[in-house]
Amino acid sequence: MTYTELVDKIRNYTEVDANVFTSTIVNGFIEDAEFRILRDIDSDNNRRYDTANLIVNDRFIGRPAGLLVVRSAQIVDSQGSSQPNNREFLQYRDTSFMSEFNPTEDTGVPKYYSLWDENTIVVAPTPDATYTIQLNYILKDPGLSSTNTQTYISQNFPNGLLYACLVEAYGFLKGPQDQLTLYENRYKQAVEAFSIEAMGRRRRDEYQAGVPRIGKQ
């Protein structure tokens, strides 16, 4: 589905023309829908892995450009630590917790992380050694627009994108509630179907790659 096709469908389904649903308003629906979808679906296309070094007595690292959602953060290497083979997943906490947990910046092996601001990730306790941290995150690609007429989502999740946009549109119109509920349910069904398909695709890929399967002899 292209950008123009989606815009036409939004206006046709809602029976609202371009005088009300201007390009600016519809673009807002699409952007909000894309953000929601990237948070709700587990898309391999947008999954990224990146590593960064945590330095002694510095609890901040740069946030990867385009990062939308962190799926996991894990210490994968440490230098000079009392636990050199430590490989642990960090737990996500909000910034208030981080400030209260580590007010005096006591040092140790980091256990928690948070998105501090648009450019920074913070960990706690403050690192007592040099650690390599691996981030598993979802990347926000350039969205669908009049100049970027097709995206991975518009091509591989077109119905879900349409339903998510219609939820935004009917929320904007403040009704009718039954239509909003209808498209909200259809969106959730599309997410579920996409997730099942993605899971099956990963299992096929693992089988073809010779990955051992639990329960198979």
Query: pLDDT of 34-67, one tens digit each?
Result: 999 988 987 788 889 999 999 999 999 999 988 9
User: Can you read off the two tokens belonging to residue 152?
Assistant: 């991975």
Q: Any idea which residue has 């580590």 for tokens?
A: 102
Per-residue model confidence (pLDDT) at position 73:
94
Q: Is there a contact between 73 and 129 (Cβ–Cβ < 8 Å)?
A: no
Whether the pLDDT of residue 83 is over 70: the answer is no
Query: What is the 8-class DSSP label of residue 157?
Result: S
130 bridge partner residues: 79
CA 104 distance to own-chain centroid: 32
pLDDT at position 9 is 97
**Rg, Å, the chain Cα set:** 22
Q: What are the beta bridge partners of residue 137? A: 48, 70
Who's near 126: CB < 8 A, 6+ residues apart?
57, 58, 59, 102, 105, 106, 107, 108, 110
Buried b (16+ CB within 10 A) or exposed e, 178-214: ebbeebbebbeebbeebeeebeeeeeeeeeeeeeeee
Q: What is the pTM of this model?
A: 0.72
* pLDDT at residue 88 in the model: 84
10 Å CB burial of residue 3 (0-12, 13-18, 19+) is buried
Q: How confident is the model at residue 86 (pLDDT cuts 50, 70, 90)?
A: low
Model confidence pLDDT, tens digit, residues 180-200? 999 999 999 999 999 888 776
pLDDT at 84: 54
pLDDT band at residue 212, thresholds of 50, 70 and 90?
very low
| HSE value, Cβ hemisphere, 13 Å, CA-based, for 103 | 2
Domain boundaries defined on the chain? 3-41+157-199, 47-139
Instruction: Please tell me the predicted confidence (pLDDT) of residue 201.
Output: 61
Tokens 């239509």 identify what position?
179
The per-residue pLDDT for 99 is 81
19 pLDDT above the threshold of 90: yes
Q: Is 35 exposed, middle or buried (0-12, 13-18, 19+ CB in 10 A)?
A: middle
Q: Determine the Cα–Cα distance for residues 91 and 64; give it in Å rounded to an integer.
A: 19
Q: Which of 66-75, 95-104, 117-126, 151-160 has the lowest mean pLDDT?
A: 95-104
Per-residue pLDDT at 213:
39
Share of the chain above pLDDT 70, in %: 86
